[in-house]
Amino acid sequence: MKACWDEQPCQSYLSAQPFFYGDPQQHLMRSYQQGGTLYLAPQLGSTRFIGWIKETSH
């Protein structure tokens, strides 16, 4: 994953907030415009965060 402020477009976006918040919707539009992939965390909690990152980074 790249940071969104890098010079090249992002290929992967990670969003850990519920979709009804504004950020995930903005991430979806950015990923769509740049041909990337949005990974939306399902009910992400602090105890499952590291495992979820490892799982989605393959």
Q: What pLDDT, on the 0 to 100 scale, is given for residue 11?
A: 80
Q: Are 40 and 24 in contact (CB under 8 A)?
A: yes
Q: What pLDDT, on the 0 to 100 scale, is given for residue 3?
A: 52
pLDDT band at 5 (very low <50, low <70, confident <90, very high): low
Question: 34: left (phi > 0), else alpha (psi -120 to 50), else beta?
Answer: alpha
CA distance 7 to 17: 25
- Give 13-46 pLDDT, tens digit per residue: 888 787 788 888 888 888 888 888 888 877 767 7
pTM: 0.56
Instruction: Report in angstroms the alpha-carbon separations of 43 from 20, 23, 40, 46, 48.
Output: 13, 16, 9, 10, 9
Mean pLDDT over residues 3-12, rounded? 66
Instruction: Report in angstroms the alpha-carbon separations of 58 from 3, 22, 25, 52.
Output: 17, 27, 24, 11
